[in-house]
């Protein structure tokens, strides 16, 4: 039984055209951007594998310098060497576990101390869990990695980014936000009152990200800073490696065989970060590079305000 009080409201707002548009857009290729970002700075989380790795290479190939926020020192050093030797740009990294709020706070402090402007900030780090896990702070891990960590970083960087008068934030979101079809349960973000589901927890975190975009877009209004979210396409990544042998076998033998190359995602993320066609475009959800309307719960301004206050509380801001 659905316990969300807004079930009836959302039910009435769903339309067939919304779903058909999603299906149609999923078949489209991303728009390619040929504009250079020479000397600009990309800050990206989760850059040592999958979408993040290919996106880092794409930006570097177009002249951008990189600052990667990663967990693994060996992989980070390897990426730094590879990028700098191959593309002759700067590639630095900062180590942080984005499921740990102390690490999130520390790395954000370091970003605030930088004199160099952040031209593009991409929140890409993610995790998919089939079993509920709590962080050291006692919060549900998927929610923290996909949502709360990016919220804290965006929130604390507001003044720095606005002072630059030009910056783009891109959140790697997902059509998976549709798994939270009847909205968030702000009273049960830790999944203590419900049976945990990997798809539903993932969907809730991505829905939270879209709701936060509403509030951030308001605060960045007329500042030259934009914030958008995108679905990276049905592409092959290493997400889910934290799960058991059965899940990894299913992913390797079934899921991965139906997925496309993550190069599509990298091209889309470059377009969203570099294309002059998107100057002034903010608060939008894209399926790769095609603008799309998300689900009714993702457009709920009242819920976005409530989540904003809850996030400030959870993040100790």
pLDDT per residue as tens digits for the range 26-74:
888 999 999 999 999 999 999 999 999 999 999 999 999 999 999 999 9
- The answer to whether position 149 is within a domain reads yes
> Does the pLDDT value for residue 146 go beyond 70?
yes
Residue range 152-168: mean pLDDT, rounded: 97
In angstroms, the CA 269 to CA 79 distance is 19
- The answer to whether position 57 is within a domain reads yes
pLDDT value of residue 3: 55
For residue range 196-233, what is the model confidence (pLDDT) as tens digits? 999 999 999 999 999 999 999 999 999 999 999 999 97
For residue range 235-277, what is the model confidence (pLDDT) as tens digits? 445 554 454 454 344 435 444 434 557 789 999 999 999 999 9
3-state class (DSSP) for residue 95: strand
In angstroms, the CA 115 to CA 129 distance is 37
- The answer to whether position 187 is within a domain reads yes
Question: Which residue segment(s) compose the domain that 291 sits in?
Answer: 7-314
Burial class, 38, CB count within 10 angstroms (exposed 0-12 / middle 13-18 / buried 19+): exposed
Q: What angle do CA 58, 21, 272 make, to 5 degrees?
A: 25
Q: Give the CATH number, domain containing residue 98.
A: 3.40.50.720
> Does the pLDDT value for residue 195 go beyond 80?
yes
309 contact partners, CB below 8 Å, separation of at least 6 = none
- The answer to whether position 66 is within a domain reads yes
**pTM of the complete model:** 0.90
| CA distances to 273, 288, 289 from 25, in Å | 20, 8, 9
- The answer to whether position 191 is within a domain reads yes
Burial class, 18, CB count within 10 angstroms (exposed 0-12 / middle 13-18 / buried 19+): middle
Number of domains, the chain: 1
> Does the pLDDT value for residue 120 go beyond 50?
yes
> Does the pLDDT value for residue 140 go beyond 80?
yes
pLDDT value of residue 6: 84
What is the enclosing helix (H) or strand (E) of 285? strand 285-287
- The answer to whether position 181 is within a domain reads yes
* Contact (CB, 8 A) for 293 and 34: no
In angstroms, the CA 88 to CA 65 distance is 9
Mean of the per-residue pLDDT values for the chain? Answer: 91
- The answer to whether position 1 is within a domain reads no
In angstroms, the CA 21 to CA 243 distance is 32
For residue range 163-177, what is the model confidence (pLDDT) as tens digits? 999 999 999 999 999
| CA distances to 37, 73, 144, 145 from 97, in Å | 28, 11, 11, 9
- The answer to whether position 2 is within a domain reads no
Altogether, the residues listed in the chain come to a count of 317
* Contact (CB, 8 A) for 135 and 144: yes
């Amino acid at each position: 039984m659905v316990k969300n009080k807004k079930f009836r409201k959302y039910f009435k707002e769903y339309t067939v055209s919304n779903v058909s548009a999603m299906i149609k857009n999923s078949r489209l290729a991303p728009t390619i951007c040929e504009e250079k970002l020479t000397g600009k700075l990309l800050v990206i989380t989760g850059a040592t594998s999958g979408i993040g790795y290919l996106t880092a290479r794409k930006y570097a190939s177009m002249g951008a310098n990189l600052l990667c926020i990663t967990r693994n020192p060996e992989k980070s050093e390897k990426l730094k060497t590879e990028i700098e030797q191959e593309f002759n740009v700067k590639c630095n990294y900062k180590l942080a576990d984005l499921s740990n709020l102390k690490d999130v706070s520390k790395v954000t402090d370091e970003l605030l101390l930088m004199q160099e402007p952040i031209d593009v900030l991409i929140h890409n780090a993610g995790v998919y869990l089939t079993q509920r896990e709590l962080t050291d702070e006692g919060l549900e891990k998927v929610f923290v990695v996909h949502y709360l960590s990016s919220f804290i970083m965006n929130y604390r960087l507001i003044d720095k980014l606005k002072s630059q008068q030009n910056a783009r934030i891109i959140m790697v979101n997902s059509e998976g936000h549709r798994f939270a079809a009847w909205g968030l349960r702000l009273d049960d973000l830790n999944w203590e009152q419900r049976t945990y589901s990997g798809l539903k927890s993932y969907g809730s975190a991505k829905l939270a990200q879209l709701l936060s975009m509403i509030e951030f877009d308001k605060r960045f209004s007329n500042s030259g800073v934009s914030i958008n979210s995108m679905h990276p396409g049905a592409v092959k990544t290493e997400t889910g490696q934290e799960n058991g042998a059965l899940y990894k076998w299913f992913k390797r033998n079934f899921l991965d065989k139906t997925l496309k190359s993550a190069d599509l995602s990298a091209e889309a993320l470059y377009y969203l970060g570099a294309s002059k066609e998107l100057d002034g475009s903010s608060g939008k959800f894209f399926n790769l590079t095609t603008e799309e309307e998300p689900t009714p719960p993702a457009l709920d301004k009242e819920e976005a305000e409530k989540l904003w206050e809850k996030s400030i509380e959870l993040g100790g801001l």
